[in-house]
Structure 1
Amino acid sequence: MRHYLHRHQPPHRPHVALLAGIGAMLAIGVTGALSFHANVPLLVAPFGASCVLLFSVPGSPLSQPANVIGGHLVATTAALALHMVLPGTWWAAAIAVGLAISLMALLRITHPPAGADPLVVFATDPTWAFLVMPVGIGALVLVAIAVGFHRMTGTVYPLKAP
């Protein structure tokens, strides 16, 4: 039973944990403000989970710009395509999630929060414009904010290519 409760994640120093929360708050706040003032939707629920990775574990391969932007775009594209030919049912949404995960893995752009994008697509029945706004532009904004934030706080992000 103990191995189920063991925390494998290394501890964060309190100031690093606080910075992660501040970064996520700024990213969602700026994206929400842009959305409000431009009168265009830029926020979707999976972006909150993207902020967990972008600000709490920016050194993770799953947090890198290609993964964040590419993962959201691939998962949403797969979901929109399947939603055109499958009914808006739970089993169709399940197929879309599975396809999105497989495609992200094959393309090496896995971003776990993007696995929720197909659920958003099947729940809201958006048009193809959803791929650009909020998904594409919103993901770009989050990554841009993360790059700026981490530069200001001295964290290496994104990781350098080998």
Structure 2
Amino acid sequence: MRRFVRRHQPAPCRLCAVKAGIGGLIAIALCAAMAEAAGNLLLIAPLAASAVLVFGVHESPLAQPANVIGGHLLSTAIALVLAEVLPPGWWTLPLGVGLAIAAMAVARVTHPPAGADALVVLALHPGWWYLVFPILAGSVAIVLAGVIVHRWLPPRGHYPLPHTAPEP
């Protein structure tokens, strides 16, 4: 049982935790303001999970800009296509999430919060504009907020991570 309750995440410095909270507040404030203008706050829920990664564990490969933006766009696009070609049903939700996970892995843009985009699209059928707003606009806003917060607020860090050659 201890294996299930053991925390593997190291304790952050207190200033890092405060910075992560401020970053998340700023990013989601931007997304929420845009969503309020469009009239639907519920549709930005997957973006809140992205903010957790970008500000809480910004050094993770899953939190990098290509993963945040690419993962959301790919997952959403797949679900939008499925919503167009398949009849509605409970089975489309796991199919959409499974296909999104596989596609993100193949494209090397895995971003766990993006899996929720497939659920939102297949459950609510928001239409093709959902790909542009809130997904593209929101994911870009989160990444830009990440760049600004990690460079300007102490302790300063690198976001996005510096380029390194991929392993074969």
The TM tier, using the shorter chain, reads: over 0.9
Please report how far the alpha carbon of residue 87 of structure 1 lies from its aligned counterpart in structure 2 after TM superposition. 2.2
Please report how far the alpha carbon of residue 63 of structure 1 lies from its aligned counterpart in structure 2 after TM superposition. 0.2
Q: Quick check: 2:68–2:111 contact (8 Å CA) kept in 1?
A: yes
| 2:106 is the counterpart of 1:116 | no
Q: Distance in 1 between matches of 2:140 and 2:20?
A: 19
Per-residue Cα deviation, 1:89-126 (whole angstroms, up to 9, x for no partner): 22111100000000000000000000100110012112
Aligned length: 160
Which sits farther off after the overlay, 130-139 or 112-121? 130-139
| 2:163 is the counterpart of 1:161 | yes
Q: Distance in 2 between matches of 1:105 and 1:20?
A: 27
Q: Distance in 2 between matches of 1:156 and 1:64?
A: 11
Task: Indicate the RMSD between aligned Cα atoms, in angstroms.
Answer: 1.4
Please report how far the alpha carbon of residue 35 of structure 1 lies from its aligned counterpart in structure 2 after TM superposition. 3.9
- Other-structure match for 1:150: 150
Please report how far the alpha carbon of residue 6 of structure 1 lies from its aligned counterpart in structure 2 after TM superposition. 1.0
- Other-structure match for 1:52: 52
| DSSP 3-state at the match of 1:45 | helix
- Other-structure match for 1:138: 138
Q: TM-score, normalised by structure 2?
A: 0.90
% of aligned pairs identical?
A: 49
Q: Distance in 2 between matches of 1:19 and 1:90?
A: 40
Q: TM-score, normalised by structure 1?
A: 0.93
Per-residue Cα deviation, 1:56-99 (whole angstroms, up to 9, x for no partner): 00000000000000000000000000111112222111100000
Query: Where do 4+ consecutive residues of structure 1 move more than 4 Å?
Result: none
Please report how far the alpha carbon of residue 52 of structure 1 lies from its aligned counterpart in structure 2 after TM superposition. 0.5
| DSSP 3-state at the match of 1:44 | helix
- Aligned amino acid, residue 155 of structure 1: G
Q: Distance in 1 between matches of 2:88 and 2:68?
A: 26
Q: Distance in 1 between matches of 2:159 and 2:88?
A: 38
- Other-structure match for 1:84: 84
